[in-house]
């Protein structure tokens, strides 16, 4: 298969290369693209060193089996439609197309069937949404989800390479903050992305909108507070969820154990540092909320893997399965 990665030099792009290898994707040709800043550099893939090319419209008009985009939304917005118009399937990590009702927003374990026979642009959800919606989907099927209140503890790699660089330079004594609105070293910042007129941030609105879209609903009430913390990799979330049906606790545990890409820990909890190279959404500290219609839990996932590159590659795998069936 001929695959292209747009944004190959970034945090997510590099993880996409690794994920293609880890998921044994049969790649016959791999093209890498980034901006003029990284064009000419080489990145290793298996035992080879691959050249990064400057992203151009001409390159997007070539034929690929799949194009994986991991660039900012303005770059996706400009280049992904060109690729799609030329018959390519694009799996896009940015927020450019997620709200477009004609474009599927996919977590393969939940709504992967929507991309049966689909060609064109597919949107990969926001990282903090993917890890939360996986356990919620399992519980929703059994108990019907009504309301979610979530607070996140999001790592600096969620802002890409520049987020890690800012934390590391502040750890060495720098007082400069360009990426974050306040110093992130030894601090927590209750703002991810810009504020909207309703007081929520764009990141918080993504969690509300995208969770509903992935679950095929519009009526789930969601209030998120998204917080940046001085952690390099891995997002954590404290989730409180209310359901229409009364919850049998053991049944809830069974649902979580049975859900693909969810690991339910009933005896211990996990922290971002312990994630290692995990591709799952970890649920621990499960307990009833305020009554028998609510649950609360601690949720941890690797934002660059599960929250971006791995979900994108799982979408690709799902499409390959469909093409071969
Ligand atoms: N990091 C996460 O946890 C995460 C999770 C979910 C979704 N996402 C989304 O994934 C996308 C990439 O994020 P990231 O964390 O990988 O960011 P990053 O580390 O900053 O990487 C950005 C990539 O985009 C490339 N790029 C920037 N401007 C470009 C241009 N004009 N033309 C072509 N390439 C350009 C960069 O190339 P150069 O090296 O040439 O600058 C780099 O390869 C973003 O939309 C982000 O919101 C990220």
Same-domain status, 106 and 169 = no
Residue range(s) defining the domain that contains residue 118? 2-124+308-324
Query: Which atom of ligand 1 is the closest one to the Cα of 52?
Result: 40
Choice from 4, 6, 17, 35 to test ligand 1 binding pocket (greatest atom count within 8 A of CB):
35
Residue 54 and residue 114 share a domain: yes
Is 127 catalytic? The answer is: yes
Confidence band for 5, pLDDT divided at 50, 70 and 90: very high
**Dihedral Cα 87, 88, 91, 95, nearest 10 deg:** -60
Closest C-alpha among 290, 322, 270 to residue 66: 322
137-195 pLDDT tens trace: 999 999 999 999 999 999 999 999 999 999 999 999 999 999 999 999 999 999 999 99
Catalytic annotation present for 293: no
Please indicate, yes or no, whether residues 209 and 319 belong to a single structural domain of this protein: no
Quick one: 242 and 187 in the same domain? Answer: yes
pLDDT at residue 212, rounded to an integer: 98
Contacts for 23-27: CB closer than 8 Å, 24+ residues apart: 23/313, 23/314, 23/317, 25/1, 25/313, 25/316, 25/317, 25/320, 26/1, 27/1, 27/3
Residue 96, ligand 1, Cβ within 6 A = no
CB 78 near ligand 1, within 6 Å = no
pLDDT of residue 321: 87
Q: What is the pLDDT of residues 125-147, one digit of tens each?
A: 999 999 999 999 999 999 999 99
On whether both 99 and 191 belong to a single domain, the answer is no
Task: Indicate if ligand 1 lies below 6 Å from the C-beta of 70.
Answer: yes
- Structurally, the chain folds into a number of domains equal to 2
Task: Quote the percentage of the chain above a pLDDT of 70.
Answer: 100
Same structural domain, 149 and 212? yes
State the Cα–Cα distance between residues 6 and 27, nearest whole angstrom.
Answer: 16
Same domain, 271 and 243: yes
Shared-domain flag, residues 147 and 294: yes
- Domain of residue 295, CATH code: 3.30.360.10
Summarised one tens digit per residue, pLDDT across range 258-301 is 999 999 999 999 999 999 889 999 999 999 999 999 999 999 99
**Ligand 1 binding pocket includes 237 (Cβ within 6 Å):** no
Single out the catalytic residue among 185, 235, 255, 293.
235
The answer, yes or no, to whether any atom of ligand 1 lies below 6 A from the CB of 2, is: no
Q: Which atom of ligand 1 is nearest the CA belonging to 96? A: 45
* Residues 176, 271 within the same domain: yes
Q: Based on the domain organization, do 120 and 210 belong to the same domain?
A: no
> Are residues 34 and 75 located together in one domain of the fold?
yes
Which CATH number goes with the domain that contains 60?
A: 3.40.50.720
The alpha carbon of 75 and the centre of ligand 1 are apart by a number of angstroms equal to 9
* Probe residue for ligand 1, chosen from 6, 8, 11 as the CB with the greatest number of ligand atoms within 8 Å: 11
Query: For 291-320, what is each residue's pLDDT tens digit?
Result: 999 999 999 999 999 999 999 999 999 999
The answer, as to whether pTM is greater than 0.85, is yes
Rounded Cα distance between 306 and 65, Å, is 22
Given this model, what pLDDT does residue 324 score?
76
Query: Do 174 and 59 belong to one domain?
Result: no
Contacts 24+ apart (CB under 8 A), 283-286: 283/135, 283/256, 286/252, 286/253, 286/256
Numbers of helices and strands, H then E, in the chain: 9, 13
pLDDT surpassing 90 at residue 39: yes
Distance 162 CA to ligand 1 centre (A): 10
Using the predicted structure, report yes or no on whether residue 96 has a pLDDT greater than 80.
yes
- 29-34 and 48-54 beta bridge pairing: parallel
């Amino acid at each position: 298969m001929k695959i292209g990665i747009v944004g190959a030099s970034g945090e997510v792009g590099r993880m996409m290369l690794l994920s293609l290898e880890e998921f044994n994707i049969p790649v016959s040709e791999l093209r890498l693209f980034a901006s003029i800043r990284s064009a000419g550099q080489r990145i290793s893939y298996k035992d080879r060193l691959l050249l990064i090319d400057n992203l151009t419209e001409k390159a997007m008009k070539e034929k690929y089996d799949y194009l994986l985009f991991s660039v900012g939304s303005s770059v996706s917005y400009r280049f992904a439609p060109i690729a799609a118009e030329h018959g390519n399937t694009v799996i896009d990590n940015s927020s450019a197309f997620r709200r477009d009702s004609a474009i599927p927003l996919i977590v393969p374990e939940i709504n992967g069937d929507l991309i049966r026979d689909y060609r064109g642009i597919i949107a990969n959800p926001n990282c903090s949404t993917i890890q939360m919606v996986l356990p919620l989907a399992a519980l929703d099927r059994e108990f019907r989800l009504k309301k979610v209140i979530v607070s996140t503890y999001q790592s600096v790699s969620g802002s890409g390479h520049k987020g890690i660089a800012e934390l590391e330079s502040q750890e060495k004594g720098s007082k400069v903050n360009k990426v974050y609105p306040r110093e992130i070293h030894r601090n927590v910042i209750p703002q991810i992305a810009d504020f909207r007129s309703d007081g929520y941030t764009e990141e918080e609105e993504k969690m509300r909108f995208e969770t509903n879209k992935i679950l095929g609903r519009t009526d789930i009430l969601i209030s998120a507070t998204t917080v940046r913390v001085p952690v390099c990799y891995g997002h954590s979330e404290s989730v409180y969820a209310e359901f229409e049906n009364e919850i049998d606790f053991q049944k809830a545990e069974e649902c979580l154990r049975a859900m693909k890409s969810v690991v339910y820990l009933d005896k211990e909890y996990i922290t971002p540092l312990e994630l290692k190279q995990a591709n799952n959404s970890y649920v621990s500290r499960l307990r009833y909320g305020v009554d028998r219609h609510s649950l609360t839990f601690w949720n941890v996932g690797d934002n660059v893997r599960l929250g971006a590159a791995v979900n994108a590659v799982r979408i690709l795998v799902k499409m390959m399965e469909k093409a071969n069936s």
